[in-house]
Amino acid sequence: MNNQDESLLLYLNEAIATTRSKEKLFKIVTEKLRLIFPFDSVAIITFDNALQYKRIFLRDLIDSATTLLPDSAEAEQTQIAGTPIELFVRDPHVQQLNLEDLLVEYPEYKPFKRLHERHMVNLTVAPLRTGGQLVGLLVMAARRRPPFSPDDMLLLGKISSVVAMAVSNALAFEEVARQERQKSAQLTINNALLSSKNRGQLFHAVATELDRVVSCDYFGLRIQRRMAATESFAEFAKNEQGEFTVLGADRWEGVTDRETMQAETFGLFTEPSVHGGLDFLELTTRYRMLRYSAERHGMRAILGVPLWVEQDQLAVLALASKRPDNFTVADLELVRSLVPQILLAMQNLFAFEQIEALRAQLEQEKTYLIDEINTSAKFEDFVGTSAVMQQVQTRIRQVAATDTTVLIQGETGTGKELVARALHNLSPRRSRALIKLNCAALPAQLIESELFGHEKGSFTGAVDRRIGKFELADGGTIFLDEVGELPLELQAKLLRVLQEKEFERIGGRRVIQSDARVIAATNRILEDEVAAGRFRADLYYRLNVFPIRLPALRERPDDIEPLMRHFLERFTKQMGKPVRGLRERDLRALRQYGWPGNVRELEHVLEQAVIVSEGPFLEFAGFSARPVPVPPDTNTPLKTLKDQERDHILAALRQTGGRVSGPTGAALLLDINPKTLEARMKKLGIQRTIGVAE
């Protein structure tokens, strides 16, 4: 070894001791090597400790203007077995090889093909050892075979030992930097995870922090189910300002086969992997969703890590980039190291959101239960022992313990809500709430929100999320009063809940399950409504599984006196009034009256009598002036229900001076929605001005 060679070795040793950047070190080594050994390209390949895998540490084409760092495919670890590298591992010594001979034996080996395309003809390979351990190879390629003497080969062996030490140091520095980068990312993301319990805010912070160490254009946490659409847990994409924004459902506008496209990708990321460049483009030919991502959003690389994998379900953390060489194996390992934190955050969020949903449900149930208690005080039990009421109670006992849907039919004021409450209280669901909705009491546009709830911002005025009645009634009972008033478009949605036990909130994408027993009530004859096209036949048959018909009060005259005694006892106690007698003539008049308002009308008459009476007997102010229908006989035909309804509405209008709505209107007296009353008046030819229509 001459002085020049010793100087070169000394220079390289000093460079190794003072240089930490592997790129700078690589440049120094290649420049000095080329002074002695003529070559046109050089590469350093490193091995794992078990000599099972290799990766390109650095490579350079000497006549190129810039250093060619490895792309994502070359940076990945690949197996040594089955490649020409296996020959050098088995026989690690300095050797020169003819590239054309190697191509004969390995015609499809891409690195050899690329060198051949650049007109390389010769390879010089030197093993890199530290402490007797083979850590890699120094590979020099030339367009002409260089004339190496034995001394040159010996010198190259010594230089390779120095280079091996430099590579080992650089790898060690890389590992330290990787660990520091990983810890820094874990710390910042952990702080983000502790900063909020709101799903959107939390994972927006995670995406932002992760982007600092693994740059990406898309961040997504997605739950995939076999043969089903992907559920977005949290998804963000960068806008033109480089900031992450939430991806909404509107991004799929115009995509007709989204769910099938998403289902096709099930299993793509059951193992952590990176796909970029040509590898990603090859995937776009197999997966339409990736092709859509590439064509619509310009994505060229994707990194995916499974958070959990089950037989028919998996959760995936996916990052995507518009740069084909954006993600490296080191990035993949860093993201994998964050999986436990992100998985714990998802589990905590699931639990927190479930607790919040239950808390909101309990708050709503509390409101309804208080209302139920207050309402229940009006009817402590069924009053009356008539045969028709005994039959009603028998049917209630028969069906109460089941989950069968019940349809209660009867005129206004016959006690349909009382029957619904009895069905609930006698059922196994009595520990949960009875949720009630009067379908005639709300505008059509609000009934859907009341039934199914809505998400914040789903329509004008939706300033917060609202839990619907069906969600509140989960595990309990929902009572749909005046179900015959439902608009046709809502009838279809109600039918779906009855059939499939599931629905979505307005503006929501998540399917919500509801195990609610349905009890419906109506004073309409639904068979006639179906025939007229105002009520869906399929919904009618779904509701009319177990019908209960409540008799009108005129059909149970024997129950009038017990009902009177019941109401009088309650009202005198509530108002602190003395107990007053009941004249026989008043009792007779009350029995003979037709009671078009049924039990509710009787209750109101007695309440008014308790309030106004001052003497020893109850005074029924104005009651005697009401028309007393003549009991039907064989010579007097019965009035139709339509005529009776008309007479009853006219009587109410007389009493209120023709006023329909308001605190002194006929609607309040008849316990009916003013708009419903106006519709019935129009149908029956009754005008607001009493005396004109008569």
Rounded-to-integer distance, Cα 168 and Cα 204, Å: 39
Which tens digits make up the pLDDT trace of 391-439? 999 999 999 999 999 999 999 889 899 999 999 989 999 888 888 888 8
Distance of CA 94 to the CA centre of its chain: 62
Q: Write out the residue limits of the CATH 1.10.10 domain(s) in the chain.
A: 630-694
Assigned superfamily of 196-352? GAF domain (3.30.450.40)
pLDDT at residue 190, rounded to an integer = 72
- Work out the pLDDT band at 114, boundaries 50, 70, 90: confident
Question: Which token pair is 380?
Answer: 């402590």
Q: Residue 246, CB half-sphere, CA atoms under 13 Å: how many? A: 12
Q: Write out the residue limits of the CATH 3.30.450.40 domain(s) in the chain.
A: 3-176, 196-352
More confident call, 529 vs 359: 529
pLDDT at residue 16, rounded to an integer = 66
- Work out the pLDDT band at 353, boundaries 50, 70, 90: low
Which tens digits make up the pLDDT trace of 126-151? 999 888 889 899 998 999 888 888 88
More confident call, 5 vs 52: 52
Contact criterion met (CB below 8 Å) for 187 and 125: no
Which tens digits make up the pLDDT trace of 285-337? 999 999 999 988 899 999 999 988 877 788 899 999 999 888 888 888 888 88
pLDDT at residue 71, rounded to an integer = 39
Contact criterion met (CB below 8 Å) for 642 and 684: yes
pLDDT at residue 21, rounded to an integer = 67
pLDDT at residue 692, rounded to an integer = 34
More confident call, 536 vs 251: 536
Question: Which token pair is 357?
Answer: 């949903």
Does 378 score more than 60 pLDDT?
A: no
In DSSP notation, 268-312 reads: TTSS-EEEETHHHHHHHTT-HHHHHHHHHH---EEEEEEEEE-SS
In DSSP notation, 600-643 reads: HHHHHHHHHHHHH--SSB---TTTTTS--PPPP-SSSPPPPHHH
Q: Which of 68-72, 255-259, 385-389, 660-664 is the most confident on average? A: 385-389
Q: Write out the residue limits of the CATH 3.40.50.300 domain(s) in the chain.
A: 378-551
pLDDT at residue 538, rounded to an integer = 92
pLDDT at residue 367, rounded to an integer = 63
348's CB contacts (< 8 A; 6+ apart) are 197
Does 614 score more than 80 pLDDT?
A: yes
- Work out the pLDDT band at 70, boundaries 50, 70, 90: very low
pLDDT at residue 253, rounded to an integer = 75
More confident call, 374 vs 317: 317
State whether the Cα torsion 270-276-278-283 is positive or negative.
positive
Does 691 score more than 50 pLDDT?
A: no
- Work out the pLDDT band at 4, boundaries 50, 70, 90: low
Per CATH, the architecture of 630-694 is what? Orthogonal Bundle (1.10)
Q: List the one residue out of 442, 460, 438 whose CA is nearest residue 507.
A: 460
- What is the model's pTM? 0.45
Which of 149-188 are b and which e, b meaning 16 or more Cβ less than 10 Å from the residue's Cβ? eeebeebbebbbbbbbbbbbbbeeeeeeeeeebbeebbeb
Give CATH for domain 3-176. Answer: 3.30.450.40
Rounded-to-integer distance, Cα 269 and Cα 258, Å: 19
Instruction: For residue 140, list its beta bridge partners.
Output: 42, 124
Give CATH for domain 552-628. Answer: 1.10.8.60
In DSSP notation, 57-80 reads: EEEEETTSSS-----HHHHS-EE-
Q: Write out the residue limits of the CATH 1.10.8.60 domain(s) in the chain.
A: 552-628
Give CATH for domain 378-551. Answer: 3.40.50.300
Q: Over pLDDT 70: what percentage of the chain?
A: 85
Q: Over pLDDT 90: what percentage of the chain?
A: 18
pLDDT at residue 67, rounded to an integer = 37
pLDDT at residue 644, rounded to an integer = 80
Does 82 score more than 60 pLDDT?
A: yes
pLDDT at residue 543, rounded to an integer = 94
